[in-house]
Amino acid sequence: MREWLIEQLLRMNLSDSLVREQGFTRESYTAEETEAIDVFKAIAEELGLAVTEDAAGNALARWEVVGGGAAVATGSHLDTVPNGGAFDGGAGVVCGLGAIKMLKEADFEPQRPIEVICFRSEESSRFGVSTIGSKAMSGLLDLSIGELKDQHGVTLAQAVESQGFVWQDLLNAKRSKEQLNCFVELHIEQGMHILNHQKDYGVVKGVACPVRLAVTFNGKAGHTGTTPMDHRQDALAAAAPFISFVQETALQMNDAYGKALVATVSTLTASPNSMNVIPQTVTAGVDIRSVDDGLKRKMTDAIHMEAKRIEETTGVTIDIEVLVDNPSVLLDDGVARRLADAGVSEAYTAHRMDSGAGHDVMNMAQSWPSGLLFIPCKDGLSHHPDEYASAEDLKMGVELLARFLMEATSNDGNR
């Protein structure tokens, strides 16, 4: 199984190596993403699965049974961030196929269908919005995002249509609640919690969906050589202490409330961005995450208060725009118990944890009982060319998924 998993990952990454200096770039609704999904379809067909594609371009590989019924589904994605790794998303896709292979080789006969889903466009790197394929499948897609543009001026709608789909038709990808029994996503952890707790894998309780803010500091441009220091409204000088404030306040809130919160000033743009001009405007992108929505609100409130203080002391005005404010998602307790039980059956130890990153499962959980299974990745590294998960951990993921799928689709497992 280890060799088969690595071979299929190499095929889907169209590469002879899973770790390479430049990494992998398969952005949302590009020919590169389509090519990888085509390989997924080919592997699924080799396993004897029926392959279809929905209106959003999600690929569905189905192990059909007599009488049909609501399917038990697993899956993930194959798009990447620029210069990303081979395992973010790909691990979940290949392990889902591997679980099917394992069950077929064991002559298991499911009593309800099993699906492996390869979602389109999970990453937000191209258009600033994530999980488009699973949003469409879950009925959560807002067609207005079709006007979002990438750095080259291509709209999301245009990108979708460049791959043979019709933007308005993406709504037709929505599935009814009766079509699926439950959904489980396997993903690399992208962190160190599993290893730090000396466990084998992670079972996720909740997904910390983000609050994202655009904080714009409005100053006044001027000549850097002729404008006196005490007559300046320097937007960048006003933004500098704000960056430290976000970092320090998040640390303080972790200590004060005993709950996990992360807050990051992750982007900074200055205008006119010229060496001899005082910065007139600076926009800071702030990403706030916690499974506790109340704690996210406290952090947001603290940012507004700090903005008022900076305005009063610098003469710079500050605008705060809420780009994203998604409530965090608690996953299904029953599915989580089954994932933990699968580890007991296979002699693996589970760590119950939250996810600081968003995944397709957070959309699927709005319509179907859903769970998230983490396997370790080396040094917790992800979104990087050196991202790596061992063949042994991939095999563990297959065994856990296979056990879950077997229990969920047997006569005793049907709900």
Query: b or e along 217-248 (b: 16 or more beta carbons within 10 Å of the residue's beta carbon)?
Result: bbbbbbeeeebeeeebbbbbbbbeebeebbee
Q: Are 165 and 57 in contact (CB under 8 A)?
A: yes
**Binding-site residue set for allantoate:** 212, 276, 289
Alpha-carbon 27 to chain mean position: 13
Which residues make beta-bridge pairs with 77? 119
What's the confidence (pLDDT) of residue 128? 86
> Mean pLDDT, the chain, as a whole number?
96
Q: In 3-state terms, what secondary structure has residue 355?
A: strand
Which residues make beta-bridge pairs with 223? 277
- Peptide linkage before 82 cis (omega within 30 of 0): no
Q: H-helix or E-strand containing 16?
A: none
- pLDDT digit of tens for each residue in the chain (415 aa)? 999 999 999 999 999 999 999 999 999 999 999 999 999 999 999 999 999 999 999 999 999 999 889 999 999 999 999 999 999 999 999 999 999 999 999 999 999 999 999 999 999 999 989 999 999 999 999 999 999 999 999 999 999 999 999 999 999 999 999 999 999 999 999 999 999 999 999 999 999 988 999 999 999 999 999 999 999 999 999 999 999 999 999 999 999 998 899 999 999 999 999 999 999 999 999 999 999 999 999 999 999 999 999 999 999 999 999 988 989 999 999 999 999 999 999 999 999 999 988 899 999 999 999 999 999 999 999 999 999 999 999 999 999 999 999 999 997 554 4
What's the confidence (pLDDT) of residue 150? 94
What's the confidence (pLDDT) of residue 412? 58
| 246: its two tokens | 């976000």
What's the confidence (pLDDT) of residue 333? 97
Q: Are 324 and 128 in contact (CB under 8 A)?
A: no
**Binding-site residue set for Zn(2+):** 77, 88, 123, 187, 383
Domains of the chain: 2-207+328-409 (3.40.630.10), 210-325 (3.30.70.360)
SS3 content of the chain, % helix, strand, coil (to 5): 40, 25, 35
**Binding-site residue set:** 77, 88, 123, 187, 212, 276, 289, 383
